[in-house]
A = this chain, B = another copy of it.
Amino acid sequence: MSAETETTSSSDIDSVGLVETQFAELFAPPNPLTLREGTTLGPITVAYQTYGELSPEKDNAIYICHALTGDMHAAGRMEKRRKSGWWDGCIGPGKTLDTNRYFVICANVLGGCQGTTGPASINPDTGTPYGIEFPFVTVEDIVNVHSELVRHLGIERLLGVVGGSLGGMQVLQWAAKHPDQLSAAIVLASAARLSAQGIAFNAVGRRAIYADPNFKEGQFYDEGEGPRFGLALARMVAHITYLSEDSIELKFGRRLQDNDSLSHELHAETEFQIESYLHYQGKRFVERFDANSYLYLTKAMDYFELAPNPGDLSAALSKTDARFLIVSYDTDWLFTTTQSKEIVSALLSQQKHVTFSELSSPYGHDSFLIELDKLGALVEPFLQQTLATSRR
């Protein structure tokens, strides 16, 4: 373990959880991070987890880029968390990202709220949380931090970088700006730029947070509960966009939550199951997520644009010799197949190696978190082929 690396305290772990419980490792880059136009941020901390063992040749590392509200806890158990990691079905011994074979890395993104420096972190200049004094963060900044972490781990070239949604944007960014650092890029349910509709929904979410009187210009950390209502509302509206119309109809329809018949009460906010579900999702979310991080990361998502014009996308992706796997889902209306195909076309015009599949799934945008068997059937051979090619 280098001087810049330390583990979180394990003092309060019970003996039962110990065996299978991981901690977040912490990496502190030695130099401040340079953001756009010469702004610097630092010192920063990066919270990450790894699964499996790095091969002696250091050629089996796969980096996972998490989506908007994910974090470094991608698999297995983690201290103080009841649930397994967000992609646990995909990462582990014998799974798609087989930890008997691959060394898997996942870090909380810059601007996040699960251990990596973000707006809730203490600003060393003031001794108080940054709040909205935190510098503006882009997908490029996020990926630059990931890239430095990979070098810190002694890995010159990743076997692959994988991510869905905002994670997929990071993969594309990585291939464009650090083209020699990866042999494979796997982009799931993502796009080279967010659609106007996507920006619209994010704008609504941010408005909900700003309009919450407990937002207090982002300095709510010592002020009781913070903008809980606003953040929950942002999550509710976003959550609708993650589901397909069919899946929401099938799962909830017009079924009622508690009663046999409609109450005819105006105030009944959770009468239909779908209402109850959304309210629950909103409430749960505020327990684990920082409202300022939500503002920063949705802005990063809105701003992401690998190339301003579709025609320039080819040039942006021209430098890498990574093999690409692009996957979309037929019921995903937030990141559509059309958007994935735009990436595919750009890659083909540069004569890159690219595999594309539109998977059929009822689960909309969330499919990349749910339909793991279908995804594994594509990803497993793709990675094995990449590994075989790189070892040839």
Contacts and interface: CB of A to CB of B under 8 A. Distances in A.
Interface of A: 36, 132, 136, 138, 193-197, 199-201, 203-204, 206-208, 210-213, 229-230, 232-233, 236-237, 240, 243, 245, 248-249, 251-254, 262, 264-267, 269, 272, 274-275, 278-279, 282, 295-296, 299, 302-303, 305, 333, 336
8 contacts: A132-B267, A199-B254, A199-B274, A199-B275, A200-B248, A211-B229, A237-B237, A262-B303
A253 B269 CA distance: 34
A300 to B, nearest CB: 10
A266 B136 contact: yes
Contacts of A333: 245, 333
B248 A278 contact: no
Contacts of A193: 254
A166 to B, nearest CB: 16
A240 B272 contact: no
Contacts of A206: 269
Contacts of A138: 264
A267 B136 CA distance: 10
A305 B254 contact: yes
List the 3 closest A-B pairs by CB distance, nearest first.
A211-B229, A136-B264, A203-B275
A208 B299 CA distance: 21
B240 A200 contact: yes
A36 B264 contact: yes
Given A195-B249, A264-B36, A240 B136 contact: no
B203 A236 contact: yes
B233 A299 contact: no
A200 B271 CA distance: 11
Given A136-B266, A197-B248, A266-B295, 7 more contacts: A195-B245, A199-B254, A201-B240, A207-B233, A211-B230, A254-B305, A262-B303
Contacts of A269: 203, 206-207, 210
Among A136, A203, A262, A279, max chain B CB count under 10 A is at A203
Contacts of A194: 254
B211 A248 contact: no
Contacts of A272: 196, 199, 203, 302
Given A136-B266, A245-B333, A279 B199 contact: no
A31 to B, nearest CB: 22
Given A36-B264, A245-B333, A204 B132 contact: no
Contacts of A303: 262, 264
Given A254-B193, A266-B132, A274-B200, A233 B248 contact: no
A196 B132 contact: no
Among A197, A213, A303, max chain B CB count under 10 A is at A197
A212 B229 CA distance: 9
A138 B296 CA distance: 42
A136 B248 CA distance: 27
Nearest to A134: B266
Nearest to A296: B266
B236 A204 contact: yes
A211 B196 contact: no
Among A136, A233, A295, A303, max chain B CB count under 10 A is at A233
Contacts of A254: 193-194, 196, 199, 305
A196 B208 CA distance: 22
A14 to B, nearest CB: 38
B213 A213 contact: yes
